Amino acid sequence: MFTGIVSELGTVTRILRLDGFTKLTVEAPDTVRGITIGDSVALNGVCLTAIGVEDEAFSVEVVDESLSRSALGALVVGDRVNLERPMLSNGRFDGHIVQGHVDGVGRVVAVTHEGEAVRHRIEMPGDLSRYVVEKGSITVDGTSLTITAVSRVETEDAWFEFVVIPHTLAATVLGTSEIGTAVNLEVDVIAKYVERMIGSAR
The model carries a pTM of 0.92
Q: By three-state DSSP, how is residue 79 classified? A: coil
Range(s) of the domain holding residue 129: 104-201
Domain boundary among 33, 54, 84: 84
> How many residues can be counted in the chain?
202
Instruction: Name 144's bridge partners.
Output: 139
pLDDT tens-place string over residues 117-127: 999 999 999 99
pLDDT tens-place string over residues 80-135: 999 999 887 777 777 788 889 999 999 999 999 999 999 999 999 999 999 999 99
142 and 75 inside one domain = no
74 and 37 inside one domain = yes
**Whose CA is closest to 135, among 188, 175, 192, 99?**
188
117 and 197 inside one domain = yes
Q: Are 89 and 1 in contact (CB under 8 A)?
A: no
| CATH number of the domain residue 189 falls in | 2.40.30.20
From residue 94, give the alpha-carbon distance in Å to each of 97, 103, 163. 10, 22, 18
